[in-house]
Amino acid sequence: MIFYDFLFIRFINLILDDQIYGFIDNILKCISFTKNNLTLINSCLAFRIIIIKIDKIIKEQNVFNILENDKENLIENINKKVNWTNILIIITKICLYLFDHVQSAEISLSLINLVTNLIEKCHFQCDGQILDSIKNSSLINIISNTTDEFRLHAFLDMFKALLIAFPSSDIIVQLSLKFITNLFRVSNKTIILTYI
Amino acid sequence: MDTYSSNNLHWQGLYKYTIESLFTSFSSVTLKCTKEILTIFFNDSPENNYPVFESVIHLINLMPILYNKLQITNKNIIDYTSFFQKIEKHLDINKPYGESLLNSYVISIAKWCEILISRKSYMLYFIFYIIYDFL
């Protein structure tokens, strides 16, 4: 059994064999080729799983020190080979489009969390193009039409991440004010106060 | 969005649970059948019969779930590289099945990442290379 594990693992590790970067590129290509909302949703969800899995390996405490030492190389390698800025801009555009079309609460939550994760992960590489995408989107209208609290919480997390990532941006301050004003109309004040 | 929330999920779920119960109850026979089906997949083209091709992709995508549930062992898992290469070879948005295959491809990546990017695989990879270097 162990022997098989070792044999298997020779071709199983996606990160160390660099195949993951090929998959990330292919998903981005799929997004640009497809006109189908279902494929767009599945592409975003695939990205979410990849990011969650990579973060889990990086953040988890390992028993073996060798892995701890190699984590830095792994993080460096990932940041070098993956163009997070490009991913953030493309995924944000797609998610902003999908927010308007997806009715399932579970999928919406996953998409909002994906954008939040990406903002937290790569804002330092981003030159603020994402803010223009948000400004030109109908995000505020979508939020004003949202009534369920789970989605509102997720949107609040997203704005929190944006404020931390771009504290000096005029756009984000304006958007946040609009966002909170809209939120007062649709939600109870306690949710907002916990975040302020 | 209808397709995602109703029919598609319903049939995929039914398919998944049927295969899982087959693997649990009749593992050796099911594995034998799976190997036969995989031979068809690797030798056939989606142009001949796309619904069958897509069903085999669904079957292959169940392998990571079955592996995580310890219902199949490593030796029964297919070489994922060949599997993805096979799909990538036929990815063409202009073909009638192009959009559907693109969707299946993206779903396959998500399903396989469950075991391919995991702490277990990461640790075993290192242990394997330490032993390999030592020998």
Q: ipTM of the assembly?
A: 0.78
Q: Supply the pLDDT for residue B64.
A: 85
A19:B81 CB<8 A: yes
B123:A64 CB<8 A: yes
Any residues with CB less than 8 A from the CB of B91 and at least 6 apart, and which? B98, B101, B102, B105
CA distances from residue A31 to A87, A97, A148, B3 in whole angstroms, order as listed: 11, 12, 29, 19
Q: Supply the pLDDT for residue B74.
A: 72
| Among candidates B75, B116, B127 on the partner chain, residue whose Cβ is nearest the Cβ of A12 | B116
Q: What are A118-163's pLDDT values in tens digits?
A: 888 776 666 667 777 777 777 777 777 777 777 777 888 888 888 7
What count of other Cβ atoms lies within 10 Å of the Cβ of residue A33? 16
Minimum distance, in Å, between the CA of residue A100 and any CA atom of chain B: 11
pTM attached to this predicted model: 0.79
Any residues with CB less than 8 A from the CB of A121 and at least 6 apart, and which? A51, A84, A88
Q: Supply the pLDDT for residue A55.
A: 83
> Which chain B residues are closer than 8 Å to A69 by Cβ?
none
pLDDT band at A14 (very low <50, low <70, confident <90, very high): low
B134 in A contact zone (CB under 8 Å): no
Residue A40 has pLDDT above 90, yes or no: yes
Mean pLDDT in chain B? 77
- The residues in A 66-105 lying below 8 A from B, measured between CB atoms, are 66-67, 70, 101-104
Q: Supply the pLDDT for residue B15.
A: 75
pLDDT band at B122 (very low <50, low <70, confident <90, very high): low
Residues B42-62, mean pLDDT to the nearest whole number: 83
Residues A44-54, mean pLDDT to the nearest whole number: 89
B126 in A contact zone (CB under 8 Å): yes
What count of other Cβ atoms lies within 10 Å of the Cβ of residue B126? 17
Angle at A39 between CA B23 and CA A156, to 5 degrees: 105
